């Protein structure tokens, strides 16, 4: 269950604090990552279930590292968390910057970019997350930071608007999909869903700087209708798409390159495309 007590009530201490400080200070590279993984494994054995409150690169977050890989990564090694992707997005920040985080999880992308923009730059950020438990954590984290530019939206993004089944992985609460992508996924809930174009229209958006699309293998379901129905004026300048081609039933890379995008980055987690 999520805990709504004031931020700071679950500040790490003792050996847990020491391990977090050490893993967060490790450098890039195989050796640093390997050592961080070993130390994280040690720390997880000490944790008993409560969340942990930390400030990460100027962002305050309450993290539950037990059944969410995203929160575990943010707790111990935020310096490795999609660092190149975030650097690309941060370099695009300007007056009126608009970013849509589809599959926001607990809000790291949205919060990081809001902090990078600062109060002097007018931005608009949508953090979209369909899973109720994770959405509540997202809301809590947004409220701990004085950015004021993030709107949380509790729905799935899909190939049609209506109510759809969302499949949950009980071992990784951040991995929820409109597709059954893992034999361990035994839970399912019904959630509201909209198409990406419907979301943009409902929010009154006429120009998008960037979209991050991480919907656990359903990226093809989202992009097909979007590129079929959306005007080119709504195509974002940057698309970040989860790198899971083995889960797609359509050629997502072909969809993007066919609309004038070129790939500028590939990581283990994501593909990044830019449109002139």
CB atoms within 10 A of CB 172: 17
**How many structural domains are present in the chain?**
2
In a domain, 4, yes or no: no
Q: Determine the angle formed by the axes of helices 30-46 and 14-24, rounding to 10 degrees.
A: 160
Tell which phi-psi region holds residue 82, choosing left (phi > 0), alpha (psi between -120 and 50) or beta. Answer: left
pLDDT exceeds cutoff 80 at 250? yes
- Do 89 and 47 lie in a common domain? no
**Predicted local distance difference test score (pLDDT) of residue 78:** 97
Run of H or E including 100: strand 97-102
105 and 226 part of one domain: yes
Distance CA 97, CA 118 (A): 12
Q: What end-to-end distance do the CA atoms of the chain give, in Å?
A: 45
Instruction: Check whether residue 129 and residue 266 sit in a common domain.
Output: yes
Per-residue pLDDT averaged across 219-240, rounded? 98
Strand residues in 148-244 grouped as ranges (E)? 150-153, 156-158, 162-169, 172-177, 187-195, 210-213, 238-242
Whether residue 47 lies inside any domain: the answer is: yes
For residue 233, the enclosing domain spans 83-275
Clarify whether residues 108 and 204 are in a common domain: yes
Task: Out of 28-42, 128-142, 166-180, pick the least confident.
Answer: 166-180
The pLDDT of residue 170 is 84
- Same domain for 214 and 96: yes
54-101 pLDDT per residue, tens: 999 999 999 999 999 999 999 999 999 999 999 999 999 999 999 999
The pLDDT assigned to 153 comes to: 98
Do 40 and 61 reside in the same domain of the chain? yes
Task: Give the orientation angle of helix 14-24 with respect to helix 69-76, to 10 degrees.
Answer: 80
Q: Which residue has the higher pLDDT, 30 or 179?
A: 30
Give per-residue pLDDT as tens, 143-195.
999 998 999 999 999 999 999 999 998 888 888 888 875 555 568 999 999 99
* Whether residue 126 is found in the same domain as residue 202: yes
* Average pLDDT over all residues of the chain: 94
Cα(73)–Cα(121) distance, integer angstroms: 29
pLDDT at residue 55, rounded to an integer: 97
Residue 7 lies in a domain: no
């Amino acid at each position: 269950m999520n805990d709504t007590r004031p931020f700071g009530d679950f500040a790490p201490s003792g050996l847990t604090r020491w391990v977090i400080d050490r893993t967060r200070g490790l450098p890039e590279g195989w050796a640093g990552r390997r050592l961080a993984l070993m130390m994280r494994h040690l720390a997880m054995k000490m944790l008993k279930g409560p969340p942990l409150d930390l400030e990460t690169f100027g962002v305050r977050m309450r993290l539950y590292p037990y059944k969410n890989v995203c929160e575990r990564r943010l707790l111990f090694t935020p310096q490795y968390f999609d660092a190149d992707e975030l650097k690309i997005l941060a370099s695009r920040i300007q007056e009126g910057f608009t970013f849509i985080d589809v599959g926001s999880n607990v809000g790291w992308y949205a919060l990081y970019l809001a902090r990078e923009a600062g109060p002097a730059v007018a931005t608009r950020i949508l953090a979209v997350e369909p899973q109720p438990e994770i959405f509540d954590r997202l809301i809590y984290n947004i409220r701990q930071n004085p950015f004021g530019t993030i709107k949380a939206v509790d729905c799935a993004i899909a190939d049609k608007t209506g109510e759809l089944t969302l499949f949950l992985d009980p071992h990784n609460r951040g991995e929820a999909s409109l597709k059954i992508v893992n034999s361990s996924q035994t839970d399912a809930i019904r959630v509201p869903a909209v198409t990406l174009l419907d979301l943009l229209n409902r929010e009154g958006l006429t120009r998008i700087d960037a979209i991050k699309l991480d919907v656990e293998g359903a990226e093809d379901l989202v992009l097909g209708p979007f590129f079929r129905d959306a005007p080119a004026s709504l195509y974002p300048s940057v698309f970040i798409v989860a790198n899971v081609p083995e889960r797609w039933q359509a050629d997502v890379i072909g969809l993007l390159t066919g609309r004038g995008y070129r790939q500028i980055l590939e990581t283990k987690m994501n593909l990044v495309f830019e449109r002139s």
